Structure 1
Amino acid sequence: MCRSIKTLREPYTSDVTDDDVRAAALQYVRKISGFRAPSARNAEAFDRAVETIAAATQALLDELHLRPVARDEATP
């Protein structure tokens, strides 16, 4: 659905920042709302949705239990 949202968990990426999480939430809200930038009337709801989704995303990432990634030690 949102091709510009990147995977935010290991092994796909490391050192995920708050900005990464917020950018993914913003892309999601833009996609589902159909607004790149909301009107003044919708800005509060739009911003609240971004913050709510960012918080839920961070909670998910914090709670995921991942298996260790097997790494070939011979590969640089």
Structure 2
Amino acid sequence: MCRSIKTLRPPATPDVSADDIRAAALQYVRKVSGFRAPAAHNRAVFDQAVADITAATEHLLAHLEVRGSSAGGVSRG
């Protein structure tokens, strides 16, 4: 669906920043909504969706257990 969203899970991507996660969330919301930039009357809901997806992605990455990894979950700074 979103070909430009890269895998953020280590070890595929070892150094993932908060900006990387937010960029993926923004790309997802743009794709799903069909808007690159929302109109003023949709800005709040668009921004909230990006924030919600960013938080969900951070939670997912922090709690994934990767086989063969010495630590469960991925640390986010």
Seq. identity, %: 65
> Where does residue 28 of structure 1 map in the other structure?
28
- The unaligned stretches of length 5 or more in structure 2 are 70-77
Amino acid at match of 1:58: E
Q: What does the per-residue CA deviation read over 1:13-59, in whole Å, with 9 as the maximum and x for residues that have no partner?
A: 01110000000000000000000000000000000000000000000
Aligned to 2:45, what secondary structure does the other structure show?
helix
> Where does residue 37 of structure 1 map in the other structure?
37
1:55 and 2:52 are equivalent in the alignment: no
The alignment yields a C-alpha RMSD, in angstroms, of 0.9
> Where does residue 19 of structure 1 map in the other structure?
19
Structure 1 segments, 4+ long, off by >4 Å, are: none
Equivalenced residues, count: 69
The two structures have a TM-score, normalised by structure 1, of 0.88
- The unaligned stretches of length 5 or more in structure 1 are 70-76
Amino acid at match of 1:43: R
Question: What is the rounded CA distance, in whole Å, between the counterparts of 1:11 and 1:62 in structure 2?
Answer: 13
> Where does residue 73 of structure 1 map in the other structure?
none
> Where does residue 5 of structure 1 map in the other structure?
5
Amino acid at match of 1:2: C
The two structures have a TM-score, normalised by structure 2, of 0.86
